Amino acid sequence: MEQLKTIGRELAMGSQGGGWTGQSKEFLDLVKSIGEARSKAEEDRIILREIESLRRRIAEPDVPRRRMKEYIIRLVYAEMLGHDASFGYIHAVKMTHDDSLSLKRTGYLAVTLFLSDDHDLIILIVNTIQKDLRSDNYLIVCAALTAACKLINEETIPAVLPQVVDLLAHPKEAVRKKAVMALHRFYQRSPASVSHLISNFRKRLCDNDPGVMGATLCPLFDLITADVNSYKDLVISFVSILKQVAERRLPKAYDYHQMAAPFIQIKLLKILALLGSGDKQASGHIYNVLGDIFRKCESSSNIGNAVLYECICCVSSIYPNAKLLDAAAESTSKFLKACLLFSESHNLKYLGIDALGRLIKINPDVAEEHQLAVIDCLEDPDDTLKRKTFELLYKMTKSTNVEVIVDRMIDYMISINDNHYKTEIASRCVELAEQFAPSNQWFIQFSVSNNFTFQTMNKVFEHAGDLVNVRVAHNLMRLIAEGFGEDDEGADSQLRSSAVNSYLRILGEPKLPSLFLQVICWVLGEYGTADGKYSASYIIGKLCDVTEAHLCNDTVKAYAISAIMKICAFEIAAGRKVEMLPECQSLIDELSASHSTDLQQRAYELQALLCLHSQAVESVIPLDASCEDIEVDRNLSFLDSFVQQSIEKGARPYIPEIERSGMFSVSNYTSQHQHETSSHTLRFEAYELPKPSPTPAAPQISVSTRTTDLVPVPETTYYTENNQASKLQPVLDASSADHGIKLHLVGVQKKWGRPTYSASSSTTSSSEKKTNGVTHLDGVSLQSQGTLYDSKGQQSEKQKLAASLFGASAGKTEKKPTSTQRAPKANTATAERPGVARAVSPEISKQKAASSPPPDLLDLGEPISTTTPTIDPFEQLEGLIGPTPGPSTLDNSVTTSEQKAPDLMALYTDTPPSSSSSISSGLGDLHSADKNSPMAKNVPSIKKGPNPQDSLQKDATARHVGVTPTGNNPNLFRDLLG
């Protein structure tokens, strides 16, 4: 509001500094009244009034052209504020036809802002553009090129293409440049239409004007991105250009803040990164010039750092070269370390983290050095930086640190409310949990990580349930059902009962995502009563609550009713009586009348199931069989003995289906005959679908007997369709099962099974491992909590975090066996064998740690006594990196900017700051502040250290003052501040 008043005041005073000449009083009044508008509604009213008056006046005949120009500008203004000005488009188009440069440019500006490239009016402009591209006045040509760039679509490209190509040889470099760019734009829009002109880009690369050459790099970058191989021959030219640029062979005019044409350098580096990627030979050419740039590039200016960063990207992309990688790592650490000293440092931190992410792909050890810097970034108030850091962590996730990282991610995920990013981070969590947890063969790790995966998924579901994929839910169910696979039945059941416990607890929450509810219902149905802790009626009651309390969709209801059915089945099978809760009965009644046939069927199935005999129920819904493959024994061999018995007792033998289809309605008197000729079957239905099984030829006689009582055609087709059902029929008949149920059987089992899963392996339990798995489960999960939340001071917590993130590499420096080495050892050694001290010791330490203040989870290899008291590497690290940005650095920045607040432009051009006094005072501040901090003893080591802190400090001041003119720089925007 403040500056709006200022606008008003200035207008009142009539001060027209800066010269907004040419506009009428009316436009000034409009802007003024909008500026003074108290609310959005008022502003809208003003603009609508304005638009109305414009609509009237613009349609008047014989509007003077100067006046028309202003109307058009006012229209553009109105549209920028979000109001429709489409009635004026045609006038803007008309204005492009004007001869006056000023009006033509205004017209072009308006149409480029108003029209999309498929607007109907474009066709009226194409002709004008064509004409203007041939104009003698290069400014008109430029204006036309700008418009062409924005407005020409795929269909109209051929209309202007010849002219644009001609302009590539225009004497004015400004025109050539724009022509190249316009051609590039055409290429972006429709690669096919300009494909024959691509050689022009190569030609323009040799343009004697560096600006045109620089412009050509843009299309070449796109072309090379699309197809690297056909441009390999240009590597040497690009390298030589880059070399010339870096050696300042370009005219002085191309310097920017003491850098030689930095934008051209950046573009060239990007191109070389593409060309050198995975190509040893091409990379060989590049090494030299990259080294030069690393040496020469000064990191004192913003743009210098931009070039440096691009160099790092290039180095990490091309075929690796040890020397360059070192240089890149050094620059990266400069970004990251410098940031602890600069106040205006977040940009560099951001780039440093990004560069680190690129470098660790090649050499994972790089990150080790920057542990604390990374963790600082993780706790930074800057959201962008945080996300970048999470990206880095995501890239460096290993099986050793996956827990800590995913925990962090989930905490962050819960804290943000940006759905897009929430989704992204949720799927990353799940992906990491899946990717790393099950792959570890070490059984303790295995059970822990499975448990961990489970918890992770729960959290992800709870907080981002609507955003994750159904697939994830199925995976979670499979995880619970399959458990740990082969050898750990005990841990399985523990996981399951803990799942049931936590889900019952979670059900108390007011609002749960539907997908999560499905998982909960399924788990409760499968395992709710498995450990005997909860009664069936309790679980059923809960499930009924689910369908009522949570406004859920049909899918959840289906899951719930199926779960109820399963629990009932388990109860019946166990010989217990199922008393029907009233709410359950009402649920069944409700669903039986549901619009969804699926729900109806399930409800009826449940009702039918309740009437069944316990044995039948047990075979229909076996206990904990969700992982079993549903083997369809088409021969029903398991019934052989039963059939034999029945036959011996005088029952009718089984009649194959084909015969039966004819037999079924045939009256009894033929049955005797049929027995005798059972091998001879009859085919009297001429139009039946062909069967795979060969049918023996039917004897003529039986045909004649049967044609008398012919089976109706529809009935026959019914039997062929229900192949499966009719096969089952005699069996069920024999076993005296309820006739109504048998058809449901097939469908039901399909629904309960895991339709998407492949075959699971059978589970065999190994007892010796089981016991260990169980005992370690709790201890370790406790510990992981402790790692994060048990804080013994900020710094130690950070160190712990660092250790857990970079655990493996930190362990290496302390000459402890890394976890990767440990894992196979533990694998080979049985846990009981005392001889293998290394492998067992982590477990022991963990067991101890469960009660005592925990060391890091992942520093498994270290006995406790060594970990806590002396962790030298971290202190050394602190020494290297220097103090964290505290109030002292902030003070420093403030004092410098206050002392140095002359004109912005003057400042921007002078690099090394002259006010050394402020720096020294700043340093003094730094030191005094640090005396209190635990790191005080390390400060001297900074001075001795490799990076000259003074110069960095100077850089900081220069950067701060030069790069961000804030409110403290009064000269810019002085008139506003009064």
Partner 1 sequence: MIRAVIVMNTQGKPRLLKFYEFQPPEKQQELTRSVFAGQGALLSGRPDNVSNFVEADAIFGPVIFSSLLFVSFVAEITKKKKQEEFKEGTRLVYKHLATLYFVFVFDSCENELAMLDLIQVLVETLDRCFKNVCELDIVFNFNKMHTILDEIIFGGQVLETSSERVLKAVEEISRLEKSSSSVSFVPKSVSGRFGR
Query: CB of 252: closest distance to partner 1 in angstroms?
Result: 10
Query: CB of 465: closest distance to partner 1 in angstroms?
Result: 13
Q: Which is nearer to partner 1, 174 or 639 (CB)?
A: 174
Residue carrying the six token digits 């440093």: 352
Query: CB of 116: closest distance to partner 1 in angstroms?
Result: 4
Query: CB of 431: closest distance to partner 1 in angstroms?
Result: 7
Burial 934-967 (b: 16+ CB within 10 A, else e): ebeebbeebeeeebebeebbbbbbbbbbbeebee
Torsion of CA 191, 195, 197, 202, to 10 degrees: 90
Is residue 187 a contact partner of residue 194, using CB atoms and an 8 Å limit?
A: yes
Q: Which is nearer to partner 1, 42 or 709 (CB)?
A: 42
User: What is the CA 402 to chain-centroid distance, rounded?
Assistant: 17
Q: Which is nearer to partner 1, 166 or 709 (CB)?
A: 166
Is residue 437 a contact partner of residue 398, using CB atoms and an 8 Å limit?
A: no
Q: Which is nearer to partner 1, 143 or 658 (CB)?
A: 143
Distance (Å, rounded) from C-alpha 134 to C-alpha 166? 9
Q: Which is nearer to partner 1, 223 or 587 (CB)?
A: 223
C-alpha distance across the termini of the chain, in Å = 15
Query: CB of 307: closest distance to partner 1 in angstroms?
Result: 8
Q: Which is nearer to partner 1, 221 or 684 (CB)?
A: 221
Q: Which is nearer to partner 1, 339 or 810 (CB)?
A: 339
Q: Which residues make Cβ contacts (< 8 Å) with residue 624, sequence separation at least 6?
A: 526, 527, 530
Q: Which is nearer to partner 1, 382 or 797 (CB)?
A: 382
Distance (Å, rounded) from C-alpha 919 to C-alpha 891? 11
Query: CB of 865: closest distance to partner 1 in angstroms?
Result: 42
Q: Which is nearer to partner 1, 128 or 784 (CB)?
A: 128
Distance (Å, rounded) from C-alpha 938 to C-alpha 880? 9
- As given in the structure block, the two tokens for residue 118 are 């498929």
Query: CB of 883: closest distance to partner 1 in angstroms?
Result: 17
Query: CB of 129: closest distance to partner 1 in angstroms?
Result: 14
Torsion of CA 263, 265, 266, 269, to 10 degrees: 160
Q: Length of the chain, please?
A: 978
Burial 653-674 (b: 16+ CB within 10 A, else e): ebbebbbbbbbeebeeebeeeb
Q: Which is nearer to partner 1, 391 or 462 (CB)?
A: 391
Residue carrying the six token digits 């939340």: 789
Distance (Å, rounded) from C-alpha 819 to C-alpha 776? 17
One-letter amino acid at 547 equals T
Query: CB of 326: closest distance to partner 1 in angstroms?
Result: 22
Q: If we measure between CA atoms, which residue out of 326, 379, 370 comes closest to residue 352?
A: 370
Angle at 56 between CA 55 and CA 59, to 5 degrees: 85
Query: CB of 1: closest distance to partner 1 in angstroms?
Result: 8
Distance (Å, rounded) from C-alpha 377 to C-alpha 384? 10
Query: CB of 183: closest distance to partner 1 in angstroms?
Result: 10
Distance (Å, rounded) from C-alpha 617 to C-alpha 599? 20
User: What is the CA 317 to chain-centroid distance, rounded?
Assistant: 22
Query: CB of 117: closest distance to partner 1 in angstroms?
Result: 6
Q: Which is nearer to partner 1, 389 or 938 (CB)?
A: 389
Distance (Å, rounded) from C-alpha 28 to C-alpha 40? 19
Q: Which is nearer to partner 1, 85 or 620 (CB)?
A: 85
